[in-house]
Amino acid sequence: MKVAAMSRESALRLVGPLLVGVAALLVWQLLCTAYAVPIYLFPKPTDIWSSFAANLPELMRALSVTLIVTLQAFVLAVVVGTAIAFVFNQSRLVEACLFPYAIILQVTPIVAISPLIIILVKDTRVALTMCAAIVALFPIISNTTLGLRSVDPGLINLFKANKASRLQTLARLRIPSALPYFFAGLRISSGLALIGAVVAEFVAGTGGMGSGLAYEILQAGFQLNIPLMFAALGLITAVGIVLFLVMAGISNAAIGSWHESHAEERGPR
Amino acid sequence: MLRNTMKKTAGAGLVSLPLAVVEVKGAQKTFPNGFHALDPVDLTVRSGEFLTLIGPSGCGKSTLLGLMTDLIKPSSGQMRWWGGTFDSTGAAGKRLSIVFQDATLMPWATILANVRLPLDLAKVSRGEANERVRAALAKVGLAGFEDRLPRQLSGGMRMRVSIARALVTEPDLLLMDEPFGALDEFTRNKLDADLLELWRDRKLSIVFVTHSIYEAVFLSTRVVVMAARPGRIARVIDIDAPWPRDEEFRGSPRFAALCSDLSRALKEASEESGGQAAGGER
Ligand SMILES: Nc1ncnc2c1ncn2[C@@H]1O[C@H](COP(=O)(O)OP(=O)(O)OP(=O)(O)O)[C@@H](O)[C@H]1O
Ligand SMILES: [Mg+2]
């Protein structure tokens, strides 16, 4: 009974948005056809599709470039961000001294620093990865730091009363307690890594070194190839959605059985 | 062992050093924010006794229990455990366990892993630990629930899990802060009876905090009545009703008389408390 209810719920979550999307595409197609909008102003979905099909090899190559930069940056941000959060957690002093700089890193627009990084770092791919990682870093640091601190005080007392060592408390209490926060951070951060990669590519792309999806968009823009612009844009969006879904899946697999954010029907405690 | 040499009645004349489980020697507590929660308290928990702390809300029962578990350090005065410092606890014959007001389970861990925690922290081998966990769960009537998660159990069951976790280390002293406060009367009575059985079987010493006069009378060999503002011991009452105590005892005139004695003592303590007096029940 609960299973049936659950699957109806998840079916709604899948079918609903899909229907809305299809309807929007239909309306778009119909309006463009009805008013005979020129393709160089606003292409129909079918135009975009044929452009996508025609440029498939080129787009896939660009996609792989953007994807690699995004994933590298994401992994880098997760590793570095988690490490920083652990250091912050071990020492209040270090956290107090360094956290403001993490915020500075966060509030400085990546568009503003990426030209500098691209000039300073010779290898463009490395520079792009660094830019994207900087954007993706903060949510990991702040969420993981918060998570490592958000431990049930009762459990802390329990561990203390059982004379748990610092390491035992970290491994058996702080880390599991931090997981929900960490995964929430992952979800935000994966999207930001993609945004960072695309923005940095835009900045670098004019230098002639980039060759990812943003570069495709730039090139298509210069050539007034609007359908290709849309096709590249659609691919970027698709990557973002897939990233989000993968993160949600990992999170669900790791903490779905116990954490409230994944609760099915659950009474008050 | 020592505690076997002593009868379970907490006779006042029996006080002698070796039998002291926990000694509170003039310990007082002023919290860092300047709040004076506890006047100097002198209290000895004797081996094998069932000592209950009762008093108006905010009178420092949890603070006193915190001192006994070393989770709160006294501002002045001294605490002794089996005649030594807290560091000396944990060895055979000197084990203590705590049961908190709420079950305090790790939501991500199975019941088995939750109960096994104290053994894991003490680096007991997995196989032996699992065996002891199963035994402890059976003792609280939760055999077969090993693989559940805490959220899949009722409140009363979660409380029993936390009692099993306290028992799994085979403690000599059990400190319980309103363990059944959130449960319905029926479940509470049942768990009270189970607790008494455990206490008698294992020859435990128990320090128990409650708001319920009935619970205090039913369980205790000795009741410490506390007063508030500042927190202090107002009276100590021996509950010398015979053992074993069962449902019949609850209905007896002796029980009623003891309850009304305690109720009166509690009322006096509330009136002695500074500020507006809070009732015994929340
Ligand atoms: N960490 C703290 N800092 C400051 N004041 C505290 C702290 N902990 C407790 N107090 C205060 O000390 C007093 C005693 O608290 P305690 O928790 O021991 O009361 P209690 O007798 O257990 O009450 P209850 O029956 O409501 O649980 C209260 O007035 C409380 O506000
Ligand atoms: Mg309390």
Q: Are residues A68 and A102 in the same domain?
A: yes
- What is the structure's pLDDT at B189? 86
Q: Residue A110: which of A97, A123, A127 has the closest Cα? A: A127
Confidence of residue A4 (pLDDT cuts 50, 70, 90): low
User: How confident is the prediction for chain A on average, in pLDDT?
Assistant: 88
Structure confidence at residue B223 (pLDDT): 93
Same domain assignment for residues A18 and A54: no
Domain tally for chain A? 2
User: Is the predicted pLDDT of residue A266 greater than 50, yes or no?
Assistant: no
Q: Are residues A32 and A45 in the same domain?
A: no
Q: How far apart are CA B269 and CA A186, in angstroms?
A: 55
Note the pLDDT of residue A67. Answer: 93
Residue A215 pLDDT = 87
Q: CA-to-CA distance for B174 and B96, rounded, in angstroms?
A: 6
CB A229 within 8 A of CB A217: yes
Ligand 1 centroid to Cα of residue B63, in Å, is 6
Q: Say if A268 falls within a structural domain.
A: no
User: What is the model's pLDDT at position A3?
Assistant: 52
Q: Which residues of A touch B (CB under 8 A)?
A: 152, 154-155, 157-164, 168, 172-173, 176, 179, 255, 257-259, 266, 269
CA distance B248 to B281: 24
Same domain, A220 and A248: yes
Give the pocket of ligand 1 (CB within 6 Å).
B 31, 33, 35, 37, 57-63, 231
Nearest by CB to B107, from A157, A158, A258: name it.
A258
Q: Are residues A79 and A210 in the same domain?
A: yes
Look at ligand 1, atom 18, and give the residue with the nearest C-alpha.
B60
**A135, part of any domain:** yes
Domain assignment present for residue A220? The answer is yes
Average pLDDT over residues A2-10: 65
What does the alpha-carbon distance between residue A204 and residue A176 come to, in Å, rounded to a whole number?
A: 40
Q: In what side-by-side order are the strands of the sheet with B232-238?
A: B96-99, B173-177, B205-209, B50-54, B222-227, B232-238
Question: Is residue B152 within 8 angstroms of chain A, CB to CB?
Answer: no
B278 secondary structure, DSSP code: P
Q: Which of A197-201, A202-206, B14-18, B120-124 has the lowest mean pLDDT?
A: B14-18
Same domain, A49 and A97: yes
Question: Which member of A154, A172, A259 has the closest CB to residue B104?
Answer: A154
A115 found inside a domain: yes
Tell me, in angstroms, the distance from the centre of ligand 1 to residue B35's CA: 9
Residue B29 CA to ligand 1 center (angstroms) comes to 10
Mean per-residue pLDDT for A158-176? Answer: 93
**Residue A269 covered by a domain:** no
> Which of the residue ranges A17-21, A105-109, A137-141, B124-128 would you say has the lowest mean pLDDT?
A105-109
Residues A1 and A76 placed together within one structural domain of the fold: no
pLDDT at B22: 92
Confidence at residue A263, expressed as pLDDT on a 0 to 100 scale:
55
CA distances from A170 to A79, A155, A178, B105 (A): 18, 12, 10, 16
pLDDT digits (tens, 9 = 90+) for A71-84: 999 999 999 999 99
A9 and A93 share one domain: no
Among the ranges given (A3-12, A94-103, B136-145, B182-191), the one the predictor scored with the smallest mean pLDDT: A3-12
For position B191, what pLDDT does the model report? 82
Residue B268 near residue B201 (C-beta atoms within 8 A): no
Q: Is the pLDDT of residue A190 over 50?
A: yes
Cβ neighbours of residue B174 under 8 Å, at least 6 residues apart?
B96, B97, B98, B99, B166, B167, B199, B204, B205, B206, B207
Q: What is the CATH number of domain B4-95+175-180+205-279?
A: 3.40.50.300
Q: Which of B35, B73, B209, B266 to mutate to test the pocket of ligand 1 (most atoms within 8 A of CB)?
A: B35
User: What's the CA dihedral at B169, B204, B160, B240 to 10 degrees?
Assistant: -170
Task: Judge whether residue A26 has pLDDT over 80.
Answer: yes
A66 lies in the same domain as A178:
yes
Looking up tokens 């300073």 gives A120
Give the mean model confidence (pLDDT) for residues A240-254: 91
Option in A159, A255, A269 nearest B108 (CB): A255
For residue B23, give both structure tokens: 């000694």
Residues B61 and B228: their CA atoms lie apart, in Å, by 10
**In this predicted complex, what is the ipTM?**
0.83
The whole-number pLDDT of residue B149 equals 93
Let me know whether A122 and A48 are in one domain: yes
- Does A146 reside within a domain? yes
Residues A192-199 have a mean pLDDT of 93
Cβ contact B121–A159 (<8 Å): yes
| A267, part of any domain | no
- pLDDT tens for each residue of A141-165: 999 999 999 999 999 999 999 999 9
Which residues in chain A have Cβ-Cβ distances shorter than 8 Å to B167?
none
CA A193/CA A195 separation, integer angstroms: 5
Say whether A158 and B102 touch across the interface (CB within 8 A).
no
* B66: nearest Cα among A206, A95, A12, A153: A153
The segments of chain B whose pLDDT lies below 70 read 1-18, 274-282
pLDDT band at A1; cut points 50, 70, 90: very low
What is the domain-level CATH number for residue A204?
Answer: 1.10.3720.10
Percent of chain A whose predicted confidence (pLDDT) is above 90: 58
Q: Is there a single domain that holds both residue A105 and residue A178?
A: yes
> For residue A269, what pLDDT is reported?
43
> Which residues form the domain of A57?
41-261
Residues A48, A10 share a domain: no
Per-residue pLDDT at A48 exceeds 50: yes
The atom of ligand 1 lying closest to the CA of B53 is 21
Mutate to test the pocket of ligand 1, among B61, B98, B224 (most ligand atoms within 8 A of CB): B61
